[in-house]
Amino acid sequence: MKSMLVSIDRYLAPLRNGALLLAGCGLFFMAAVCTADVVAYLLLGRPFPGASESVEVVLAITFAMTLAYTQQRREHVMVDIVVQRMSPRWLVVSSLISCSVSLFCMVILAWRSWTLAIESVGAREVSATILLFPIYPWKVLFALGITLAALEVLRQLIQWLIDPGEYARVHYEKQELEL
């Protein structure tokens, strides 16, 4: 079973890293557009057309693309004061509950994101701005990012089912290192 997890991780790792690279490009793009917007306003007296809308779209993509990486590293926000006081047994139980709820939420988000993306592609949706840039590719990227995050949570849940103690131990050690 552990070899299955290694195989799954071997396929997910390049996708996670690619998504993270795309998110980094998105951050650079947002910084460049915001800077251009401010410079255009200061020098020309008018903002860069479509700056806010393009940054909003890229922000959503950037967020979605970082979820799988953050989940894989187990760096989501946790209430440390509660986790630190848990016994190892409750830590195992809470990790199962956390992983299960996360998977449930991610699957719903992925399902609905794909529904919206498919509708958007079918309609060839464009923004309601002066630039009229296409929205549908961005919705597909968002759905991909959320799906990748759901797959990572599923991988971690399978890992928990195979060896719950190891999953909780790694999680607990990570918390100890951050103290």
pLDDT in tens, 122-137: 999 888 777 788 899 9
* pLDDT > 70 in the chain, percent: 88
Nearest to 146 by CA among 121, 109, 112: 109
pLDDT digits (tens, 9 = 90+) for 18-45: 999 999 999 999 999 999 999 999 999 8
Domain count, the chain: 1
pLDDT digits (tens, 9 = 90+) for 107-121: 999 999 999 999 999
CB 49, CB 130: distance < 8 Å: yes
**Can you tell me the mean pLDDT for 75-98?**
76
**pTM, rounded to two decimals:** 0.84
- Provide the mean pLDDT of the chain: 86
Domain that holds residue 88: 2-178
**Residues 6+ away with beta carbon under 8 Å from 141:** 22, 61, 64, 65
- Token code pair at residue 31: 């910084």
Split at pLDDT 50, 70, 90, the class of 167 is low
Whether residue 179 has pLDDT greater than 60 = no
